[in-house]
Amino acid sequence: MEKGKLIGQGRTSEVFEWGQDKILKLFRTGLPKTAIENEYEVSIHIYKQLNLTPKVYELIEIDDRTGIIYERINGITMMKVIASKPWKVKKEAHRLAQLHKSIQLKVDFKLPNYKIRLKDTISNTELLQADVKMRLYEYIDELRDDNILCHGDFHPDNVLITKNGDIIIDWMTSTQWNPLTDVARTSVIFKFGVVPDKTYLEKQIINIIRNKFYLEYIRHYLKLTGVKIEQIEQWELPVAAARLVEWLPKEEKIALLNFINSKMKNINNIN
């Protein structure tokens, strides 16, 4: 079978029609095959355990690229709902918090360890000095371990809202460790994400909506779990440092570096 028309794309992949009721998620050249295989295996397990992902069919090679065949889901991303109906910000933020809590379970299958991944990722950035990296490794070791499922990139663009329920996509970065790491990454995305290719006024409006969404999301998560905001904030430093290796706008990386430098000063003062 040949791939159909392009129906979506992101930084790591393109999505094509594949017959009547399936899609092909075709990953971009240069992406490690181990990461793609991880998404494939995890998606199968999550589908069986939580029924919150599209059904997974097969891993294939096409056009010298690797792809995964998924069930086609008729739905709309939470991000598009917020953008088109901003008055639903509170409702959708609460939905995101509830979904995040619902996936934070012990899993009965093997997953990469988030602690190891954080250290490996931080080691690959050229934006931090070696001594800063060493202090970050020590900081990570001081944080509390756990073996709970972490999505690794949990945000409104990775949630599909359908008439049959909510679906969570893009499990490539999933790991197991302390679930607050996952919440901290969502927080860092909301706090430092840059709005590209918009006018000044459009950016201001988007930022107001985004800030409102984040506050509602985090408040509801704290309410659902009994966690304190300080417990989440302590994970933001290593998560922000790891994010420096991603394909981000220069402005966002500068904001992340300023945040990291500020946090590192506080750590050094304490010690």
CATH number for the domain that contains residue 110 = 3.90.1200.10
270: left (phi over 0), alpha (psi -120 to 50) or beta: alpha
Q: What is the pTM of this model?
A: 0.91
Domain of residue 16 covers: 6-71
Residue corresponding to tokens 């997953």 = 111
**Residues 148, 214 within the same domain:** yes
How many domains, in total, are found in the chain? 2
CA–CA distance, 31 with 104 (Å, rounded to integer): 27
- pLDDT at position 268 is 60
Q: 152-172 pLDDT, tens per residue?
A: 999 999 999 999 899 999 998
Out of 32-36, 88-92, 182-186, 222-226, which region has the weakest mean confidence (pLDDT)? 32-36
- pLDDT at position 50 is 83
Three-state DSSP class for 68? strand
pLDDT at 269 > cutoff 70: no
Report the mean per-residue pLDDT for the chain.
93
Asked if the structure places residue 163 within a domain, the reply is yes
pLDDT at 199 > cutoff 90: no
**Residues 158, 137 within the same domain:** yes
Which of 48, 71, 94 is the C-terminal boundary of a domain? 71
For 4, 98, 184, 252, the CA distances from 16, given in Å and listed in that order, are 6, 30, 32, 30
Q: 44-65 pLDDT, tens per residue?
A: 998 988 888 899 999 999 989 9
Which of 18, 50, 71 is the C-terminal boundary of a domain? 71
Q: 232-243 pLDDT, tens per residue?
A: 999 999 999 999
